Homo-oligomer: A and B are copies of this chain.
Amino acid sequence: MLLLHRTVVLGLRQACRLKSTPSKLCIQACSTNDSFQPQPLSLTSGDNCGTRRWKVMGTLLGLGAVLAYHDHQCRASQESPRTYTKEEVSSHNTPETRIWVTLGSEVFDVTEFVDLHPGGPSKLMLAAGGPLEPFWALYAVHNQSHVRELLAQYKIGELDPEDKAAPTLETSDPYADDPMRHPALKVNSQRPFNAEPPAELLTENYITPNPIFFTRNHLPVPNLDPDTYRLHVVGASVSQSLCLSLDDLYKFPKHEITVTLQCAGNRRSEMTRVKEVKGLEWRIGAISTARWAGARLCDVLAQAGHQLSETDAHVCFEGLDSDPTGTAYGASIPLARAMDPEAEVLLAYEMNGQPLPRDHGFPVRVVVPGVVGGRHVKWLGRVSVEPEESYSHWQRRDYKGFSPSVDWDTVDFDSAPSIQELPVQSAITEPQDGETVESGEVTVKGYAWSGGGRAVIRVDVSLDGGLTWQAAELHGDEQRPRKAWAWRLWQLQAPVPAGQKELNIVCKAVDDSYNVQPDTVAPIWNLRGVLSNAWHRVHVYVAP
């Protein structure tokens, strides 16, 4: 509480200093943009005390700023407001060009407010040049009247009404029909769309909100009609094959679990620093956690007459996304996992209490807890039990690990097993590489997860590059033995050793099989840049 008090006072002081800056045009009415549907924030109770603290602080600070600015308010202009195009707004995204944002049809210049933002300047800068709605949807604390009043002071005009129309479809572009995405996502590839949430948002919530859940698409996003959608399940005999509508799928017992998905390529950018690899430059954000609901695959397979007796068989999945030759995305998992009720493999139709977003497989995707993201086939069209693994490129010629000595001239994809369960992983989301941290005390935050249902039992953090270690505090849901499908968020608050000008912060996790992360990247380097799980390291400066 002492800390909160100090922060509020500081905020008020800063606000007072700013009283002399020129006042902005402002309009009392705050219309909302109908085209954007705010995502209700799905927070599990008690999952992140850091977030709760932030909310309290944000509310207090917001209130403080409102009070300080009370005499600074202006009346709505009587003249018709000036209009701007979206393009104009988007060019105002640095302090030099001034920082503009939109809410509904209104345009605001928040340059002077950035340093006062209770959540920190960096969070507000995520919205620079674009709409606030996606971020307000993430941070429910903004949905209060005093925040809207505060913002109103910075209004400079309206969006050009003609600019509100949806962009024209370019029918020659197979990606033209891809859905709109959250502007906070850091895009690694537009076509196909691949993007990750910024590190500082990643561990803000235990459950990743749908709009910023990392997206890994291999092909254009199909636009499927839920009424005509059918899932084909090849039966043990022809007469047992199923053709399931969504309503048919809803009739199976609904099973709900919290599962972390991670792309095999997460943290690939660190491998690239060792030597070039083939693949998207994922930073630490190709991992997210959601609450999934759907039918259990074992129930559907049982209805199609399948049994576990075919012990060496595989369940093959085919997506409804396809390339120009008609080849669909595909993958497979062992039948033993698919038929094991304890493995909880889902044909999921809900993500965090909502229908799956299009980018995440609407209307149905596979969720294979503890297994690499590439097997969680989206836009699921077909399920079959086969004597061998899927013949898909992504099953047989991709997503496999090799020795660092193997290059594209010598690689033999048949010599390595397809990645299924992933190894233990962790990363630091805060502070970030190159940041300056306060002297005195540093707060280090991050995530940790392991494949195969193995629980994370400890995260060690070092401030001196790995010479000495401290165990971090683990947050998040209690983990069920053998079914720890979701990550743990963690945090360490530690004194900054006196006199240190720089810190080499390192984290490493331990799972309940006591597997650990390797110290360095080079010895696990592989030509495809997958399975990058060495200690995560960030280098920061200490404020003098």
Contacts and interface: CB of A to CB of B under 8 A. Distances in A.
Interface stretch (A48-56, A66-74, A515-523): A515-523
A423 B336 contact: no
A481 to B, nearest CB: 6
Contacts of A468: 404-405
Contacts of A406: 471
A535 to B, nearest CB: 8
A518 B515 CA distance: 9
A330 interface: no
A520 B523 contact: no
A424 interface: yes
A280 interface: no
Contact of A424 (B312, B404, B515, B519): B515
A404 B469 contact: yes
A28 interface: no
A416 B524 contact: no
Interface string A249-261: 0000000000000
Given A405-B471, A466-B523, A518-B518, A513 B421 contact: yes
A457 B420 CA distance: 13
A407 to B, nearest CB: 12
Interface string A518-539: 1110011000000100000000
A446 to B, nearest CB: 16
A515 B423 CA distance: 5
- Count copies of this chain in the complex: 2
B518 A517 contact: yes
Interface residues of A, number: 42
A481 B419 contact: no
A487 B508 CA distance: 27
Contacts of A452: 452, 513
Interface of A: 312, 334, 336, 401, 403-406, 416-417, 419-424, 451-452, 457-458, 460, 466, 468-471, 481-482, 508, 510, 512-520, 523-524, 531
A523 B508 contact: yes
Nearest to A452: B513
Contacts of A460: 403-405, 523
A519 B457 CA distance: 20
A531 B513 CA distance: 10
A416 to B, nearest CB: 7
Contacts of A510: 401
A208 to B, nearest CB: 23
A451 B520 CA distance: 23
A25 B524 CA distance: 60
Contact of A514 (B336, B403, B419): B419
B403 A513 contact: no
Given A417-B512, A471-B403, A531-B514, A336 B481 contact: yes
Q: Which 7 A-B pairs have the closest CB atoms?
A: A519-B519, A421-B513, A423-B515, A515-B515, A403-B471, A423-B514, A514-B531
A113 B466 CA distance: 52
Contact of A518 (B422, B516, B531): B516
27 contacts: A312-B481, A334-B481, A336-B481, A401-B510, A401-B514, A403-B458, A403-B469, A403-B470, A403-B471, A404-B460, A404-B469, A405-B460, A405-B468, A405-B469, A406-B471, A420-B512, A420-B513, A423-B514, A423-B515, A424-B515, A452-B452, A460-B523, A466-B523, A513-B515, A516-B518, A516-B524, A519-B519
A236 to B, nearest CB: 21
A469 B523 contact: yes
A422 B512 CA distance: 9
A336 B343 CA distance: 13
Contact of A451 (B417, B420, B513): B513
Given A403-B458, A419-B514, A420-B512, 13 more contacts: A334-B481, A334-B482, A403-B469, A403-B470, A405-B468, A420-B513, A423-B513, A424-B515, A451-B513, A452-B513, A516-B523, A517-B518, A519-B523
